[in-house]
Amino acid sequence: MAEAKAATFSNPQPVTITGYNQDAMEPFISRDGNFLFFNNSNAPNVDTNLFWATRVDDLTFQLQGEIGGVNSTSLDAVASMDLGNNFYFVTTRSYDSSLSTIYSGPYSNGSVGNVAIVPGVSPMHRGLIDFDSEISADGNTLYFTEGLFTGGSIPQSSEVMLARRNGSSFVRDLASKKIFKTVNDGGKLNYAADTSADELEIFFTRLNGKLEASIFMATRKSTAKPFGAVKKIKSITGFAEAPSIAPDGKSLYYHQRNPNGVFSIYRVTRP
C-alpha cells in the first residue's frame, strides 16, 4: 500500500518565495493551506530564524518576513501548527539549562505569543536532543525526532517518537518503538516526520551512511496501529529532507540541496 502511494508522487517543481533569496529549509504548510512556514540555513555558523509567507498559488508564496516572537540568537527552526493555531518550533536557546528544545505558543497574524517550553517531552538527559517536531492537526499528538549527539552537528543515532497531550502537558508514549518500528530502521538516521491530517500517512527523511538524504513514507489503517512497510518516494531525487504534506493530501513539499549548494523548497504531486 505504501509502495503504491509513494509511486504516485511525481513531477518535482521548485517553489518560489517572492521577496526571499536565502536558503529555504524545513517547510510546513499550515493546516488551512494559506501559509508557508520555513527557516533559513541551519548550518552551525548561521543565525537560523523562522519566516512566514502567504499562499499565492501551489508553487508561489509571498514572503511576509520573520515570524514575530519566536526568533533568538540561537537556532530557531522547524515550524508546525495545529488547527487551533497553536504554533510549535525547535530552538536551542535554553538547552544548556533546561535540556529542552521544543517550544510553543498561540499564533496570530505572523506572530507567536507566550512562547514557552512544551512540558513532558524532553528526556532530561544531556546529549539526547529532541528536534524536527510536528504537532498533529488536532493538536493531541506531538511527533518528534530524538537524536543522540556525541559531538558535531550530525547525531550518532536518531529515531522518530511521539508524545500525547495530557491537559496542558505532553506525555511520551512508551509504545513509540512499536508504532515506528518500520520507520526507525536500524543503522540509519530517521528524522523530520510529517503526518497527514488523519495521521494515517507518515512522511520522513532517512539519511544513509553516505550522507544521502531521501524521503520515505508509510501508511496504517488506524491510529491505533503501527505504521507498515516504508517506501522511498522515488520521484524525489538528490539530497532532500523535511517533507510537509498539504491539507488536500495531493502536494508534498520538501527542501532540496541544489547543485550550487543552496537549499530550496520543492513540491511533488499525486492524483
Digit-coded pLDDT (tens) for 67-112: 999 999 999 999 999 999 999 999 999 999 999 999 999 999 999 9
The pTM (predicted TM-score) of the whole model is 0.96
**pLDDT at 152 (0 to 100):** 80
Q: Would you kindly state where each structural domain of the chain is located, as residue ranges?
A: 2-269
**pLDDT at 210 (0 to 100):** 66
**pLDDT at 102 (0 to 100):** 98
**pLDDT at 185 (0 to 100):** 85
Digit-coded pLDDT (tens) for 180-237: 999 998 779 999 999 999 999 999 999 986 678 999 999 999 999 999 999 999 999 9
**pLDDT at 1 (0 to 100):** 66
Which fold would CATH assign to domain 2-269?
Neuraminidase (2.120.10)
The CA–CA distances, whole Å, from 261 to 16, 45, 177, 216, 268 equal 17, 15, 35, 22, 21
Between CA 127 and CA 25 the distance in angstroms is 24
Q: Which of 158, 263, 247 is nearest to 204 (CA)?
A: 158
